[in-house]
Every structure is written in C-alpha cells, then in structure tokens.
Amino acid sequence: MTLETIAIPKSIKANPLTPREIDLIDQVNDRIEAFMLGDSAVIETFVPCDFQWLAQCLDWIDQQHFSAGQRFCELGSGFGVAAMLAALRGKTAVGIEIESALVDQSNRLAKDLGIAARFYCGTFVPSAMAGSLALSREVDHIATGGDDVYDATGIAFNAFDLFFAFPWPGEHEFYETLVDSAATPGAMLLTYNERAGMKLFRKTY
C-alpha cells in the first residue's frame, strides 16, 4: 500500500460555509427527502453523507494546497453533492453513478443551481481493473462489472487529483486499493465513514 494517511483536524467543523454551499445543501436535503418519499424504487445502496462536513473538508484540503491539480471525481455520486461542492471551488468536477435515477437527480440539481459539475451513468471501476486480484475482495454495495465511463468523461482515472467516496462499512478498503493501484502518485482520496468520520489519503510517489 502506498497510501499515506493525513489527519484532518476536528476544529474545521466550526468553519463557516459560503452562501452557495449552504443553498446547495439545503436544496439537496429537500430533494433527497422528496426522492426517498416518492414513487421511485428504493435504491438501497444510496445513503447520503454529512454534506456540511464534506464542504469543510474540501475547503481545508484547498487551504493546505495538498492537491496537485484541479480534477475531482466523486466515485458513486448519488445526488452529486461532493462533485457540486468541488465545482463551486473552481474544480473540474465529475460524478460517476451506476443508478440512472440518481444521475438524473444530480444533473437536474446542477442545472437548477447553475453549477458546472458533470455526471455520468456507469461504473467508476476502471474496466482494466475490473478483474484485478487487488479488487477481488467481497463488496456487497459496489457494482464491480460493466464498462467504465472514463472515455465519456474525457478524463482517465489516473488523471484525477482528488477522489471522494462514501463507502459502506467494511468496504473502504476497496476504494483505497483502487486509488492505490490505479491513481497517479500525488492523487488524494477523501472518504466519509459514518463512525470513523472523514479520512484523507495521499498516494505517495
């Protein structure tokens, strides 16, 4: 494993959000509630994360000048809030989501709020990695088959500078292995783990 862990100070939870970040989070919370209560079939693998803390982490990462570049990818983007928060920070932000109903929701929200994040329906697991031994551990909540969408995004997996993922309990190792195996050195992975909180990793050179 060539990922180093970077501690995120708990004190950032007191940092203020911008009005646009607050508006995005308010809007998405309303839409998620309506989506969950609506007619759509329940998507069991979709659980939204702590968006306020996520915004504070992205702000802190920028303040530390950790990231080598401006390309951001949300792996399993749900409603796409991480990608939209990154786009609000001026990043080239992409969300990849396997459930088309969620891609529709994130595209609609980005359009309504005038946020330049782009969302793609398909798998974030690079096709070249799909059969890899390194990724062959058991995961119940990650689709591991199918063609990836990196051609459509126009950005290869190893050209992203910062990834975000919200793994299910016990599945964080999958994302860490993916970034460790296929990302470029210097790339970072931020994950939200409900009990352990936010974790930040950097692939070493």
Using CB under 6 A, list all residues that contact ligand SAM: 43, 45-49, 74, 76-78, 81-82, 96-99, 102, 123-125, 142-143, 166
Q: Are 198 and 8 in contact (CB under 8 A)?
A: yes
Neighbouring C-beta atoms of residue 98, cutoff 10 Å: 19
Residue nearest to ligand SAM (CB): 76
| Residue 124 or 201 with smaller CB distance to ligand SAM | 124
- In the three-class reduction of DSSP (H, G, I as helix; E, B as strand; rest coil), residue 148 is classed as strand
| Residue 114 or 145 with smaller CB distance to ligand SAM | 145
Q: Nearest distance from residue 204's CB to ligand SAM, in Å?
A: 25
| Residue 42 or 205 with smaller CB distance to ligand SAM | 42
Tokens 């070493």 — which residue?
204
Q: DSSP character for 20?
A: H
Give the neighbor-by-neighbor strand order of the sheet with 188-193.
3-6, 197-203, 188-193, 162-165, 71-75, 92-97, 118-121
Q: Nearest distance from residue 168's CB to ligand SAM, in Å?
A: 6
How many whole angstroms separate alpha carbon 15 and alpha carbon 117? 24
Q: Nearest distance from residue 20's CB to ligand SAM, in Å?
A: 18
Q: Are 153 and 72 in contact (CB under 8 A)?
A: no
Q: Nearest distance from residue 205's CB to ligand SAM, in Å?
A: 28
| Residue 84 or 187 with smaller CB distance to ligand SAM | 84
| Residue 4 or 121 with smaller CB distance to ligand SAM | 121
Q: Nearest distance from residue 44's CB to ligand SAM, in Å?
A: 9
